[in-house]
Structures are given as structure tokens and as C-alpha cells.
Structure 1
Amino acid sequence: MARATIKSIAKETGYSVGTVSNALRGAASVKSETRQEIQAVATRLGYRVNMDGLKLRTNKSYRIAVLVSVSPDAAEEWEGVEFTRILAGISAALQGSRYEMSVFNVADIPDAMTTLARIVQDGLADGVIFSGTLHDDPRIAFLQQHAFPFVTMGMSDSKMEHAYVDFDSQAAAFDATARLVRLGHRRIALVNPPAELIYATQRQTGYEQALTDGGIPIDSALIFNGSTTARTGQNSFDALMRLPDRPTACICANEAMTLGVLSAAHAAGVRIGRDLVVISTDDLQLSRYFVPPTSTYYVPIEETSRLLGEYMLKALDGANPSETQKKIRATLIERQPDTPALHTAPTK
């Protein structure tokens, strides 16, 4: 049997040689259905790409670098749960293309910058995906300076457009705060990530906007910033409970922080749902198993991470950044009944 070629696959499928070639290299310009059809025929005919030769001809590595932040603190075990799901989604998006995923562990921004320099200068990958965008993010500036394709999990304040997938943190924080304001809460705490993160600013903006709309003055003592860990949740609860005018509700940036708040509240004898209402934001749905389970503003991490991979392929194919930007709105999952603030009446 003759060796399968692009021409024989084109003859078998009825598509042009150019379309077949683009489909076999995973080009985003070819519709997903067409790409899958052509790749299925190629597999049936036994088509094999000589990747070593292809890399030499194209001067490409056919690898996507994914930067994974690894905390130096071994106690911060929550990170691994989320990154595993993110990597699975990216990997699924790359299936059927010629690209493979390479994971680079980084401890902090200087480490990330060193790693990016190696990736770009040594040709270790053709594109980069990373999360946790910062104000004036040096990683973004470096990659833009070198015209190197990348996609971020999170928006940025860069003046140059780039590919990203983001969760609408501002809208989620606004909705959660407005919900509590309607229930009569006037002392609402926000347990937020470090202030240098873009989405921390977005969350605080949404929170403050809802308070202002409800005629409630903003009290900075009710805003607690820290790493997105259960330990931060515990520390924030302890600090908030020391206030002379304690909060009656608390909005947490993720489920790890929420778990810390619940644990500290239980130890202090504070009843969640009566003495303190807690709302979470996250994409793992682990909060359904918390005691008590909290209401959560949920974004499916599978969709988010899959889009990261899809947008990376499009960026590599030269797509306009406006075609590779998406902000995903969260869905409220109610696990607790609406609880009005004690001694106050819900607003209409």
C-alpha cells in the first residue's frame, strides 16, 4: 500500500491540498469539523508527519509553554487542584493539532521572567500561556516587545491588545454585593487577592460600586487582601471579628479562602448563615461539600481553560487579538437561602 500523502488525503476527502495541509497542522483557520474530518481520514490512511523534518523546515518547536506558579510554601496545596484542571482543558484544546504542551514551573515573577527569556531566546516553545495578570505586567511587556504569541488567563492594563480569557470578576463582585445589600446588610466584608493582581482591582471596583449604589459608605477596614489560600481566609476572619462593628456578610474571592473563613467561624462559634452570611466565587464547585455549603458565583474552569488552548492556536495562526478575547460571566449557584441581616429589613 502506497504511503499516504497530503495529495492522497485531498483526493479522498475532496478538499484542496491547501485545506488539508492547514488542517493537518492544526491551523485555526480551518473549521473544527473540517479539521476533524480530514484528520480522521489521515489516520485511517496511515498518514504520519515527520516532525523532526517539519521542525527543521519551519523553524518551530510545535510546543506550547504553560507557566504554572508553584508556591514555595508547601502548605499551599490548593494551587495544584486548580492547575490540574487548567492543564487538562488546554491539553484537550490542543488535541488534533501538531502542538504539544510543555509545563514550566515558576516560583515568582523574577523566575517567570527568566523562564520566558529562555523560552523565547532558545526556541523552547512557539507560544506561552500564563495566568495571574498584574498591573503593568512585565511578562506581557516582554512578550509584546519580542512579538511572541501568548494568551493570558486574565485581562491586563496593557495598551496593546492581546489574547486573553477572563472571568468577569467585577460583575461577580457587584452582583454578590448588591444581593447582600438588598437583604439589608450594611457591613459587608471582601476577602480579596493581593492588590497587585488585575482581578483583585476588578473585584474591589464591583464591590465598591454596589455599595455606592446602595448608599453605603465604603469602609477600607472591611477589605482584606492576601494570597488565595485557606490560611488567608482564617486570618481575614480573625481580623474582621476584632472590628468594633463586625460584618454581617462576607464575600470571598475563591473557595480556598471561603474554607478558611468557615473553619475559623466554626472554631469561634459563629453561625454561618445567621451570624455571618458567606458567598464564594470560584470554578471548582468544591464548595458544595463545605459545611454549610455556600452560595457560589461559578465559572466552569473546563470552558475557560479550553478557550486558552483554542485562542493560543488562533494566535499562532496570526488571528487578530479582537478575535481571541473573551470575558465569561459567572452563574450564581444558590446553596443557602437568602438570609437578611439580623436586626435590619431587606431593601426593596
Structure 2
Amino acid sequence: MGIKKLASHLNLSIATVSRALNASDEVSAATRQRVLEAAAELGYSPNKAAESLRKGRIDTIGLMLPMRNPEENYTLSLFLTLADGIQAVLAQHQLDLAIYQSNSDEDELGRLRRIVERRQVDGLIVSGTRRHDARLDYLAKQKFPFVAFGRSDSGGDHAWLDLDFEAAAQEAIARLVGFRHQRIAIGMPGQDAMQAHVYLKGYKRALRHFGLRFDASLALHDELSERGGYRITERLLASPTPPTAILFQSDCMAIGAYRKLSELGLRPGKDIAISGGVLTGEMPDYLSPRLTGFSIPVRELGMRMAEAILARLPGTRTHDKRVLVQEVWPLQFKARSSDASEEK
């Protein structure tokens, strides 16, 4: 059954039925309920293609996950929880969520262009931001609605939500200094990753605060994966003057460090302190010793991202071009025993 037959059955205009089906405030609650009940009873199914053409929208938001190598799967659980929060809010507005991921820089930007040019979504949430991010510059130039998960020097004045990596690094360093560490290393993702830039900034600031000298040989970058953490640990411990503590940006890198330490017969929290950064899943709870780090309200963050993109989306009930969400979310410190060793 089409909308014409449904309107005829109810003795209402097509416009009124359409407004009722789309939860318009121009239709009374009683009329809306009557239309919805009749639609369910008669098996009405909207023509989504025609509806999209009429509204100029396809009622779908895209989520671009960070580019990854085939080995980098651990943080996917975080993004699945994030997507669940996003979808929870979108569903209240009868919107769907499409998830995209690429395996290379070129494919990532090319896919983004195709998504926008083909109007596959009405707006985008872009994650894994870089200091210099061609994706954000492109979206800003196209005036395409988007929200970034992470800050960037690109994209002009745009909506974003980020984690307070700087404060997290400072808090982790303060705890390690409290355990009398002075040679504290830091392991981060690639150098252009915005989160690494902010984390390193907090690390340097904390060192200055405690009167410790920054040593570039103790600040290493590698891929955001277990393998990346393994390689960073290997390089640090091969030094003539290895660190007594390592601060990682993510628990997946710390897991790689555990593997390398085990091979060397060393114990986290006893022979060397390990601080795990952002805890993205349940794995840190099953490590021995349990991993110190920071938890984040992932689902709530996803819900807020959905609200932020809806505010940028013309034609939605919550659209307000005056609203430009730019928020830094705090992380909750979880003190465990992996970083409790003291410098000898």
C-alpha cells in the first residue's frame, strides 16, 4: 500500500499523512496516532527512494573509523560501543548509521569523496583525526555536515569532541613520579595523529612541572596496535640506559609491551612500570598484573556525537546552526598494580 491509498482510507490529505508519519509538530498527537495505527494495520510501507528525493535527505549518518592495518583489530570494540551510542540517538529521529573503514590514506580520502559526491549519507562523524587532515579540509570546503572525533589543525572552525589526553598524561606522570621514577618513556601512535600530539604535549608539560628533562629518545611512535607496543618496548629496553617506566597511549600498545617483557623474563609492576593510557576494552582486567589506565564513557560519548551531528543537519528537529559542539571529555583514572614499581 502506498501513501495515497493510506490517505484515502483515512479521509485525510496526503500532506497530513506524510507529516504524521514523519512526527511533524504540525499534526496533533491524536491524528498522528490514528495514522500510525492505520499504517500498521494496513501494512503501509513508505517508498524510501521517493521520500528521500522529496525531503532532500536519505536519513543516514556515516561513521568513518580510523584507517587501520589488518593487524590493528583490538580497538574495534571501542568503536562498536561508540556506534551503539550514536545509533541509540539516531533511532529516535528515524535515522540510520552506516560505518566505513579504509586500509590506506589514498583509499580513505577517495572513499570520503565518493560518499559525499554520491550523497550516500546526510552527514559524517570522522574519527582518527590528524593534525593535518585532508578529510576535514575537504568536508569543510564542500560545506558538508560533519563532526570530528578528535581535534585537528585542519577543517576550519568545525564541530568536534575529543578526549582529554593532555590531562591524562599529566596524571599518569604524576603517579609515576610519586613512585620515584625519573626516566619515564612514552609510546604513541604515528606522529601526525592528533591524539599523539596532545598526549606528548601533556607528557612534556608534566616533566617540566616535576623538574625532569625531556629526552627525545624516550618518546617513540609506532602503529596503534599490540605490535606497535611490542616494538616500542623492544627499542626502549635495548638502550644502554633504559627507562624505568613506560607510559602508553592505549592499552593495546601496553599489551604488546607485556608480551615483550615476558620474553625477557621481566614483570610489569615489579621490574618496570607500565601505564596503559586509554583502556578500550575488557582485556586489561585479565592481564597479570592488571593494567593501570584511563576509562572513558564510550557509549555516552557516541550519543553526544549523534547530538552534535544532528545540530549540523538541516531539516532535522534539532538542527541549530548556532550550535557548534567543541568538547573535551575527561578520562577516569584507574589505579592498578602495573605501574607500581619503584626506581631502584
Give the match's secondary structure for 1:224: strand
TM-aligned CA distance change 1:54 to 1:333, over 3 Å: same
- CA positional deviation for 1:86: 2.5
Give the match's secondary structure for 1:200: helix
**In the alignment, does 2:318 pair up with 1:310?**
no
2:287 alignment counterpart: 290
Give the match's secondary structure for 2:162: strand
- Count residues with an aligned counterpart: 324
Root-mean-square deviation (CA), in Å? Answer: 3.0
- CA positional deviation for 1:296: 1.2
Deviations 1:235-285 (A, max 9, x none): 111111111222111111111101001111111111211211111122324
**In the alignment, does 2:220 pair up with 1:224?**
yes
TM-aligned CA distance change 1:6 to 1:175, over 3 Å: farther
Gaps of 5+ in 2: 1-8
**In the alignment, does 2:40 pair up with 1:53?**
no
- CA positional deviation for 1:145: 0.4
Give the match's secondary structure for 2:61: strand
Contact 2:168/2:294, CA 8 A, preserved across alignment:
yes
Deviations 1:16-58 (A, max 9, x none): x8x941699xxxxxxxxxx9xx998975564775533321212
- CA positional deviation for 1:183: 2.2
Give the match's secondary structure for 1:106: coil
TM-aligned CA distance change 1:162 to 1:3, over 3 Å: farther
1:106 alignment counterpart: 102
Contact 1:67/1:112, CA 8 A, preserved across alignment:
no
Q: How does 1:126-165 map to 2 (within 5 A)?
A: 126-158=122-154, 160-165=156-161
Q: Which piece of structure 1 moves more, 314-323 or 108-117?
A: 314-323
Give the match's secondary structure for 1:113: helix
TM-aligned CA distance change 1:270 to 1:151, over 3 Å: same
Contact 1:3/1:46, CA 8 A, preserved across alignment:
no
| In structure 2, C-alpha distance between the alignment counterparts of 1:23 and 1:88, rounded to whole Å | 31
TM-aligned CA distance change 1:65 to 1:39, over 3 Å: farther
Identity among equivalent pairs (%): 25
Scaled by the length of structure 1, what TM-score is found?
Answer: 0.83
Structure number with the bigger relative contact order (C-alpha 8 A, sep ≥ 6) is 1
Scaled by the length of structure 2, what TM-score is found?
Answer: 0.84
1:346 alignment counterpart: none
Contact 2:139/2:145, CA 8 A, preserved across alignment:
yes
Gaps of 5+ in 1: 11-16, 25-34, 344-348
| In structure 1, C-alpha distance between the alignment counterparts of 2:170 and 2:322, rounded to whole Å | 27
Deviations 1:199-248 (A, max 9, x none): 10000000010001100000111111011100111111111111122211
Amino acid aligned to 1:202? V
TM-aligned CA distance change 1:230 to 1:61, over 3 Å: same
